[in-house]
A and B are shown apart, each in its own frame.
Chain A
Amino acid sequence: MFWFSCKPKLKYDKLSSGDINPKNFVAIGGSGIGGYADGALHVDAQKNSVAKLLSQQLELIDANELIQPLVPPQFNGFGLSSINATLVTANSFLGNKTDCKGVVSLSPIKPTSNCTFNDLRASTSTNFYNDYTIPYVKSYQFLQAGLGNLGNAYYNPFFERIAKNKTTSSIISDVETLNPTFFVLQPALHDVLQYALNGAASDSITSEARFNLAIDNIINKLTINGAKGVVLNVPDVTTFPYFNTIPYNGLTLDDQKAKDLNLVYNVISNGAISFSVGSNAFVVSDPTAPIGARQLKAGELVLLSAPLDSVKCNYLGSLNPFENRMTLTLNEIATIKTAITVFNNKLKSVCQLKNLAYVDAYAFYNSIFTGIVYNGVTVNAQFVKGGAFSLDGTNLNPLGNALLTNECIKAINTQYKSKIPQLNANLYRGVVFP
């Protein structure tokens, strides 16, 4: 009888590319924006990477599609624990794991890889790609000729997959052949992240001089023909769940265990190391301490690489001190933070000088660390629960990538007076639960 209705209408904002020509879009960066997540480069992460998500929004203003060197479907992920590793692992998933005490709980599980290092190296071609996000790359390595050559000092098998010429190509020289008109660049995550992931026990932070030189060169080469772009600065990596999941005082003891440990340590440490019922600071090796070990201080960080089974069943972190590589001390944290500030100052000034959009990823990751609410969803940096980070505790998952992509879009819109819509980040998943 009355089945007519009245549909209210709202108008979209008009799209606009503003001052940019996004046609030849190229993504350049390290693992942070390129689809390395859950401990491996894998297809789901690649398709939901910042590079890909940003390109999809840029396609709305007529950018070309981002062609990615996807992990071939027959392989379950290309994970390398470091750039020098040759053992390939698959991406982790969340499942039930039984610990040394027989307690079952949800934990990341790394399935056996079905491919070898040579599979990884040979897994692609010299086809056209405009996705040059190469895991583990540091600033100065973007310019390294022969980066994809096995003999090179900084050899990177992920670049070998797509290098136009293994022996002569650098990432930037290959990018130059594409005549980019617009780029996203994440130039410097691994300049400090790798050092932090190693517990400051190996690898090193790129020196300021080397960093500045590399950045100037990269930016000059990318912008020489008038290309515009968006550059991400370096997040405070110590906010990542990898460093914040195991508390410094996560050693929980009952009365008997505290007494037993005190019995040992009272003698050898002369009371410097002591325990009580409840939470206790872990013990870590420290050559500068009188007995070569000490308890962690508030603010020091235990890495996710610390083997928890050994903590629970083999007195790791108590009778057996943590190795230095499993922790970041206050001094090491300060060193990392200082370097990040230096890098970001440089990146910001270069962006200003070259009129590039500057994404304050540092502020973004800090906001995730504190926790944000996005359209009804609380997102924070808690491991697994927080929703933003993947199961490796350092790289974002699709939801986190979508939120970071939105920061890129905001920066582009502000810098270039464009009107590119942000993503509906709620279409992108957080951690997958069994």
Chain B
Amino acid sequence: MKIKYYLFGLIFLSVNLLLSQGFQVNLQGQKQQGMASSGSAFVQDESLLFYNPGSAAFVKKTGINLGVTPTIPNTVYLDSTSQTISRTESPVSTPFAAYALYSIKDSSKIKMGLAVYTPFGSTVQWPSEWIGRFAITKLQLQTIFFQPTVSYQITNKIGIGAGFVLATGNVNLKKDIPLINSSRNYGTAELNGKASGYGFNIGLYTKASNKLAFAISYRSQINMKVKDGNAVFVVPEGVAVNFPNGKFTSSLPLPQVVTLGTHYKLNEKIDLVADVNYVGWKAYDTLAFDYENNTASLLDTKSPRLYKNTFAFRTGCQYLLNEKTQLRGGIAYGITPVQQGYVTPETPDANRWIFTTGASYFVTTHLQIDASLYFTEFKRAAVNYETNLKGTFKTAVVAPGLSIRYQF
């Protein structure tokens, strides 16, 4: 049981992948979520700070927007050789998004905004004695991104915007160590650390006509670095000296994303939108852990991830039911960045279809309530070259969301 090769040939990154391939979770605005997270060229509300700060330049009025999207992921794993089924016991996560957009006057060309959101933030928890316990038992990831943003209308047809992204978060992961003590308990390893990084977000919006608009936006790669993580090992006393507790460092690239979006106003009641994301997952090549105190049993690890760049295609429509009510629907297809041989229990990723629906209601002219519902289910039969886990993962994610928006 040489622990060294795979002890932390790990993980770290997960939840986002449960939701959609890659960083493009886009559970960041209920209106877009209702249209399969497309709509970067559709000027509606403050959440454009995330989707395209260029488009945000055309949002009228000062407003705030607070939303939350409880996310209920469930993964089941069928080990192909033992026909053992394991089911995640992951708790519901609650990614939130808060946007504030300020314009001095409604007609101001310049807007200032602040977006605070949680592009990651959930827990993958496998049952305690599952077959992959020595690969992973729990991964908890929490992040908060702060994005101050400036948007500017160059002309009445062209808007640009840019934001600075400060990312903070923490990661907690656990796995069992295949060393058993006389009470028949296996060892455990727990890594805990704060991570931080920064990046930026820019966008360009252009109205081609009264009916047609285009947008292009770019989110930079963010390298989340864990500098002073704590590694804690609980192992049988007789081998404790081989597993010294101590510091570790690691890092994880959150990939760059290019998004092309379009909005077409079919008629007074119907809006159509489509977005394409190109996600630079190739940056996630290796997951490395560097331990301060190395021993023969606890060596630094480098686990290949070999992700590839990938696309997601999203489209949706919005229907104005009456003056106060909008209805939405959307569909998306995402291509997985995870190549065959590198699927892991914390990221049981696959190509997938995504289905969403949503609605908005103006309570008053100032107050609007938005809701959305996200669903996806995907399956992947895989063997992992590093751990030799071989089986089929199937994941379903339901994410109902609600936000409240107030315009001054």
Give the bracket for the number of chain A residues in contact with chain B.
35 or more
Inter-chain CA distance A424–B82, complex, in Å, is 6
Within 8 A of B (CB), among A381-431: 382, 385-387, 406, 421-424, 426-427, 429-431
Q: Mark A2-23, 1 if CB is under 8 A from B, else 0.
A: 1111111111110000000000
Interface segment among A24-32, A250-258, A368-376: the answer is: A368-376
Which B residue's beta carbon lies closest to that of A422? B81
Pair A5/B72 contact, Cβ less than 8 Å: yes
Interface segment among B110-118, B175-183, B217-225, B307-315: the answer is: B175-183
Interface residue tally for chain B (C-beta within 8 Å): 52
Interface segment among B37-45, B162-170, B234-242, B257-265: the answer is: B234-242
Q: Mark B374-396, 1 if CB is under 8 A from A, else 0.
A: 01010100000011110010111
Interface flag for B209 (CB, 8 Å): no
Interface flag for A86 (CB, 8 Å): no
B236 partner residues in chain A, CB cutoff 8 A: 432-434
A103 partner residues in chain B, CB cutoff 8 A: none
Inter-chain CA distance A379–B6, complex, in Å, is 12
Within 8 A of B (CB), among A284-336: none
Interface flag for B129 (CB, 8 Å): yes
Interface flag for A264 (CB, 8 Å): no
Pair B84/A424 contact, Cβ less than 8 Å: yes
Pair B132/A378 contact, Cβ less than 8 Å: no
Q: What's the least CB distance linking A373 to chain B, in Å?
A: 5
Pair A432/B180 contact, Cβ less than 8 Å: yes
Pair B178/A433 contact, Cβ less than 8 Å: no
Pair A376/B389 contact, Cβ less than 8 Å: yes
Pair B72/A387 contact, Cβ less than 8 Å: no
Interface flag for A83 (CB, 8 Å): no
Please pick, from A12, A95, A426, A429, the residue contacting B85 in the complex, using a CB distance under 8 A. A12
B180 partner residues in chain A, CB cutoff 8 A: 429-433
Which B residue's beta carbon lies closest to that of A378? B2
A106 partner residues in chain B, CB cutoff 8 A: 238-239
Q: Mark A228-267, 1 if CB is under 8 A from B, else 0.
A: 0000000000000000000000000000000000000000
Inter-chain CA distance A41–B175, complex, in Å, is 33
B397 partner residues in chain A, CB cutoff 8 A: 6
Within 8 A of A (CB), among B72-101: 72, 74-79, 81-85, 87, 92
Interface flag for A209 (CB, 8 Å): no
Pair A2/B131 contact, Cβ less than 8 Å: no
Pair B82/A8 contact, Cβ less than 8 Å: no
Within 8 A of A (CB), among B112-147: 129, 131-135
Pair B238/A387 contact, Cβ less than 8 Å: no
Pair B1/A376 contact, Cβ less than 8 Å: no
Q: Nearest 9 A-B pairs (CB), nearest first? A: A433-B236, A376-B135, A376-B134, A387-B1, A421-B83, A376-B387, A434-B238, A8-B394, A8-B396
